[in-house]
Amino acid sequence: MKKGIFITATDTGAGKTLVSAVLGLILQRKGLKVGYLKPVQCAGNDATFVKNLLKLDDDITVINPYYLKEPLSPHLALRRARKKFDFRRVKESFCKLSEKYDLVIVEGAGGLMAPIREGYFVADLIKDLGLEVVIVARKGLGTINHTTLTLKQAEEYGLKISGLIFNSTHCSSTGIAQKTNPKEIQRINKTKVLGILPYFRVRKYDEIVKKVEDSLDLKAMLSDSECENTKALESLDKKHLWHPFTQMKDWAKEEPLIIEKGEGNYLIDTEGKRYLDGVSSLWVNVHGHCKKEINDAIKKQLNKLEHSTLLGLSNVPAIKLSKKLVEVAPKGLNKVFYSDSGSTAVEVALKIAYQYWQNIGENKKTQIVHLANSYHGDTLGSVSVGGIDLFHKVYRGLIFKTIKVDFPDCYRAPKGKKYPAYAFECVRNIERLFSKDSKKIAAFIVEPIVQGAAGMIVWPKGILKEIERICRKNNVLLIADEVATGFGRTGKMFTCEHENVRPDIMCLAKGLTGGYLPLAATLTTDEIYNGFLFDYKEQKTFFHGHTYTGNPLACTAALANIEVFEKEKTLNHMQPKIKYLEKRLKEFLPLKHVGDVRNKGFMVGIELVKDKKTKEPFPWEAKVGVKVCREARLYGVILRPLGNVIVLMPPLNISIKEINCLISAVLRVVRELY
């Protein structure tokens, strides 16, 4: 059974209180312990009345946390009484009552869009309480309109509706409108009618209860179908769904966590359990889930245009976003080419770099250089420039030849070599290679400063700048793959900014839409772009494009995402949180199995080792990283490891309190390890 239901109405005077009271009495007669909560009341004595009628012994300030004298909308009544609404007070009451009772009936104030404070309506309160809604409508003229508006608005908010109860507010409730209302509204809105209350001249509650007791659909109002739902979904998942990067043989044995909702920095599963999203839903989420500004922007665009091609046509959001991206990107990147994932952004970059030299007559410049332990995606082109054996070695027969150069894992520099000096030594080797072979080299692709998938390897200061210098000097294009590091993740909008580096090509994806929709962009300089401007007959066009290139919904999400950065000064607010996170990360170092802790901004890697002295890793089969992340779920945190490296990459919006929650959970799990 549910813990609570929320009673709202199509407007004031429809009979919310009557329905709440009658429902309470009926359920009490059926042997249930029923509580009542009226979060806000403006004038009148509804709360006291229901309290007395249901013989509740709770303090009136628990039943009714906000009482205001004036008969006004809550926000005005509160303002005039110089009071501030704090949701936590309501939540506290609800928790108290739901512990004591089988069910709490929560009665709203006015209708769904009655404002409680600036920008916060009754519908927001319902959403925050996470309750299903019963809507009370009064029969009569105008009811179809009122009720349909209410239902549409509920849908807009994503509220779950149990159904409608019709109330007869006049003795003349037998007119043609009154008679036809329930059936027509049910038909038009496909919403269940849970009951119809007749007109009562005198409110003798015992009699009312007797009269309607058997006709109300209590089951539809109270039964909680979520649990069965989870089981059914689980079996369907195992029957049809093939998960990425997952050994499905193991998956079949486990109980999957099925996410149904997102709220701020939390994910909520089908059972209603909340988890802090410790890796931003695989490094994509930026400002939290269901961010109002981004939701609203997408909805607005959805009502205009969902998609139209960029092949031979243009569209409004794609144009606006390209301008915005050029504004926020490192100087010199003036052209934007869209695609739909990090991998395709890299494919585009590689093809542009290669074709650029062909187009301008440097036919020998064909080789792509990349770092040995890099990761640039899973399509074959991006796998070709990847170096993580585990992900790439099976496909070796399918990929093109590249020049792979060594670069140290900061924690595991070879014997006798010291870090960071060894990193600079590696760069000098690259420089030697470049000066020797620059005529053959088209481009050098790197993940600037943080090599994510390799295990959150963070470069020492100055390496990226050196790489830029040797690329310029040798006429090699520098491709910065900022798919993971872009959009604030390391504390600056783009990681290249830390060393004032201007790449020739930059790849963006993951955080680009704030974690909403698949969209990627490859940015280039005018110089490269101009290398594609020829007469049509020369066939030097960039022959590339995906069906969904520049999708208007995705571009709209990306625009809204960047606007939130500006409006909320996200990057400024991050700085003290980065400092705090770094302070707390120090607590990991003394732990028995923690070999190394590294971070740049909100990209964190905690490397677990079997033996701290020798740096001996845990064997792959031990699945230590996977186990730690599994355990962390018990403490309400979702993580995803990279082998033996525990990754923390929270949404940029995370609060200090949530950082503490994240760190404490991981500390506990790592401490309990063996």
Q: Which is nearer to ligand PLP, 316 or 372 (CB)?
A: 372
Residue 43 CB coordination number (10 Å): 12
* Alpha carbon distances (Å) from 182 to 138, 189, 201: 10, 11, 21
Q: How far apart are CA 108 and CA 101, in angstroms?
A: 19
Q: Which is nearer to ligand PLP, 375 or 588 (CB)?
A: 375
Q: Which is nearer to ligand PLP, 111 or 486 (CB)?
A: 486
Q: How far apart are CA 504 and CA 480, in angstroms?
A: 8
Q: Which of 628, 625, 584 is nearest to 602 (CA)?
A: 584
* Alpha carbon distances (Å) from 239 to 243, 258, 613: 12, 15, 46
Q: Which of 455, 482, 486 is nearest to 605 (CA)?
A: 455
Residue 171 CB coordination number (10 Å): 9
Q: Which is nearer to ligand PLP, 4 or 386 (CB)?
A: 386
> Is residue 349 part of the contact set for ligand PLP (CB under 6 A)?
no
CB within 8 A of 326, min separation 6: which ones? 333, 334, 335, 336, 523
What does the block give as tokens for 157?
């908010």
> Is residue 483 part of the contact set for ligand PLP (CB under 6 A)?
yes
Q: Which is nearer to ligand PLP, 162 or 280 (CB)?
A: 280
Considering the complex, what minimum distance in angstroms separates the CB of residue 352 from ligand PLP? 16
Considering the complex, what minimum distance in angstroms separates the CB of residue 627 from ligand PLP? 24
> Is residue 341 part of the contact set for ligand PLP (CB under 6 A)?
yes
Considering the complex, what minimum distance in angstroms separates the CB of residue 529 from ligand PLP? 22
> Is residue 484 part of the contact set for ligand PLP (CB under 6 A)?
yes
Considering the complex, what minimum distance in angstroms separates the CB of residue 447 from ligand PLP? 5
Considering the complex, what minimum distance in angstroms separates the CB of residue 638 from ligand PLP? 18
Considering the complex, what minimum distance in angstroms separates the CB of residue 378 from ligand PLP? 6
Considering the complex, what minimum distance in angstroms separates the CB of residue 284 from ligand PLP? 8
Q: How far apart are CA 452 and CA 483, in angstroms?
A: 10
Considering the complex, what minimum distance in angstroms separates the CB of residue 600 from ligand PLP? 13
> Is residue 637 part of the contact set for ligand PLP (CB under 6 A)?
no
Residue 247 CB coordination number (10 Å): 8
Residue span binding ligand PLP (CB under 6 A) among the ranges 254-262, 361-369, 375-383, 412-420: 375-383
Q: Which is nearer to ligand PLP, 321 or 480 (CB)?
A: 480
Considering the complex, what minimum distance in angstroms separates the CB of residue 455 from ligand PLP? 12
Q: 440-479 mask for ligand PLP (x: CB under 6 A)?
A: -------x----xx--------------------------
Question: HEC states along 552-616?
Answer: HHHHHHHHHHHHHHHHHCHHHHHHHHHHHHHHHHHHHCCCCCEEEEEEECCEEEEEEEEECCCCE
> Is residue 212 part of the contact set for ligand PLP (CB under 6 A)?
no
Count how many residues are written for the chain. 674
Considering the complex, what minimum distance in angstroms separates the CB of residue 621 from ligand PLP? 25
- Cα-to-chain-centroid distance, residue 669: 24
> Is residue 513 part of the contact set for ligand PLP (CB under 6 A)?
no
Residue span binding ligand PLP (CB under 6 A) among the ranges 15-23, 342-350, 635-643, 648-656: 342-350
Q: Which is nearer to ligand PLP, 376 or 492 (CB)?
A: 376
Considering the complex, what minimum distance in angstroms separates the CB of residue 69 from ligand PLP? 57
Chain residue whose CB lies nearest ligand PLP = 342
> Is residue 515 part of the contact set for ligand PLP (CB under 6 A)?
no
Q: How far apart are CA 127 and CA 191, in angstroms?
A: 19
* Alpha carbon distances (Å) from 133 to 122, 141, 164, 169, 191: 11, 23, 9, 21, 12
Which one of 39, 65, 110, 342 is in contact with ligand PLP (CB under 6 A)? 342
Which one of 137, 294, 336, 346 is in contact with ligand PLP (CB under 6 A)? 346
Q: How far apart are CA 214 and CA 218, in angstroms?
A: 9
Residue span binding ligand PLP (CB under 6 A) among the ranges 285-293, 373-381, 613-621, 631-639: 373-381
> Is residue 375 part of the contact set for ligand PLP (CB under 6 A)?
yes
3-state DSSP call for residue 274? strand
Q: Which of 155, 159, 156 is nearest to 131 (CA)?
A: 159
Q: What residue spans of 67-121 are helical by DSSP H?
A: 74-80, 87-100
Residue span binding ligand PLP (CB under 6 A) among the ranges 49-57, 337-345, 541-549, 581-589: 337-345
Q: Which is nearer to ligand PLP, 50 or 385 (CB)?
A: 385
Q: Which is nearer to ligand PLP, 21 or 639 (CB)?
A: 639
Which one of 343, 495, 513, 522 is in contact with ligand PLP (CB under 6 A)? 343
Which one of 509, 517, 638, 642 is in contact with ligand PLP (CB under 6 A)? 509
Q: Which is nearer to ligand PLP, 15 or 342 (CB)?
A: 342
What does the block give as tokens for 83?
């009071």
Q: Which is nearer to ligand PLP, 40 or 346 (CB)?
A: 346
Which one of 35, 140, 182, 377 is in contact with ligand PLP (CB under 6 A)? 377
Q: How many CA atoms lie within 13 A of 236 on its CB side?
A: 7
Q: Which of 521, 375, 385 is nearest to 456 (CA)?
A: 375
Residue span binding ligand PLP (CB under 6 A) among the ranges 235-243, 416-424, 481-489, 635-643: 481-489
Considering the complex, what minimum distance in angstroms separates the CB of residue 153 from ligand PLP? 36
Which one of 468, 481, 596, 631 is in contact with ligand PLP (CB under 6 A)? 481
Expressed in percent and rounded to 5, the helix, strand and coil fractions of the chain are 45, 20, 40
- Cβ atoms of residues 633 and 257 within 8 Å: yes
Q: How far apart are CA 116 and CA 38, in angstroms?
A: 13
Residue span binding ligand PLP (CB under 6 A) among the ranges 289-297, 304-312, 372-380, 540-548: 372-380
Considering the complex, what minimum distance in angstroms separates the CB of residue 611 from ligand PLP? 30
Angle at 221 between CA 219 and CA 225, to 5 degrees: 75
Considering the complex, what minimum distance in angstroms separates the CB of residue 340 from ligand PLP? 8
Give one DSSP letter per residue of 440-466, joined into a string.
TEEEEEE--SEETTTT-EEPPTTHHHH
Q: Which is nearer to ligand PLP, 107 or 481 (CB)?
A: 481
Considering the complex, what minimum distance in angstroms separates the CB of residue 255 from ligand PLP? 26
Q: What is the DSSP letter of 264?
A: B
Binding site for ligand PLP (CB under 6 A): 341-343, 346, 375-377, 447, 452-453, 481, 483-484, 509-510
